[in-house]
Amino acid sequence: MDRRSFLKKSGLVTGGAVAASVPLAAPAIAQSQPEVKWRLASSFPQSLDTIYGAAEVMSKALSDITDGKFQIQVFPAGEIVPALQVLDAAQAGTIEAAHTVSYYYVGKDPTFAIASSIPFGLNARQQNAWLMHGGGNELFDDFFKQYGVVALLGGNTGTQMGGWFREELKSVEDLKGLKMRIAGLAGNVVQRLGVVPQQLGGGDIYPALERGTIDATEWVGPYDDEKLGFYQVAKYYYYPAFWEGGPSVHFMFNEDKFNGLSDTYKAALRTACAVANGNMGALYDVKNSQAIRSLVSKGVQLRPLPRDIMDAAYDESFKYYDELSASNANWKKIYEPWKQFRSEIFEWFRVAEFSYDSYVYGQQAAGK
């Protein structure tokens, strides 16, 4: 039977016209669901189309899925609440949603950091794997419930850069007394090496670095860092950010508001967040590969972090994690299975991913 005969017998072609041309009923969502309008506060400045833009990607996808009936208006850091207080605002119901990085809230509990990134942790693919299919999301559902929010993945930047320094780093001794903007649990680790950590929102970093209030800063990577202008006030750019091998960004929703949604809207919201989560990493990969060339052309000094800094930080990180396991039940409950997952997935990645990457990058470096 040829295709056209089949279509005719199936009633899909009538008088040469495809049946799809017959007007279809409006989507079920448009027919049966109420209009919902929420506000979302971001921890990020509007100038960053990568990380701030993920919330706009999610908002648009949600509107498209629901035929405009479920809308979330996105506000940049500081417009409704300060950058580092968006979780508190979502928890209190001041806003319905936040877009933030969970390690900003280690002052409440260090366990927050594992949901995003901890020093010498997982890369972006491994982090997504652990959260989505390795038990991480289930563990953190219980944890976030203590804070009255539901958290859904909302992006990953990939491995970040180690940051901008006014002076060259030659050894671990150069960290002593260094005032550095560094977020999350990493601040506690580098403090053990002599750094004086500061936690600032993205929009507050440049003036602090320019005035000399801080000596160094980390943010994300070449594209965002160039946009924020750090190269104008610090010329040494170090890599990698051992504290952010693959940091997850989250959407956090007021628990009561989320639970009050219909199952249809919950599914639409989860889908829209997944769109944003997948888009962010791909966008960063493209933009960072272009921006790093631009920064070097402007005279930026690209340097690897000295090995003794990496080694000292590695040792201090895992000592600190063991201390937390002995003193913090929330941490121990999540860190122990995370550590086991890390061990197993590192073994796998060494077999295929690392072997492949090492070979092809070596060939490129050799000019082949």
| Per-residue pLDDT tens over the stretch 7-63 | 334 333 333 333 333 343 445 555 689 999 999 999 999 999 999 999 999 999 999
CB under 8 Å to 104, separation ≥6 — which residues?
43, 84, 87, 112, 183, 184, 199
pLDDT of residue 4: 39
pLDDT of residue 249: 98
Q: Is the pTM of this model over 0.75?
A: yes
- Of 231, 241, 224, nearest in space to 295 by CA: 231
pLDDT digits (tens, 9 = 90+) for 91-110: 999 999 999 999 999 999 99
pLDDT of residue 283: 98
pLDDT of residue 202: 87
Q: Which helix (H) or strand (E) holds 292?
A: helix 263-297
33-159+246-286 has which fold?
Answer: D-Maltodextrin-Binding Protein; domain 2 (3.40.190)
Listed as ranges, residues in the chain with pLDDT below 50 are 1-26
pLDDT of residue 6: 33
User: Residue ranges of the domains in the chain?
Assistant: 33-159+246-286
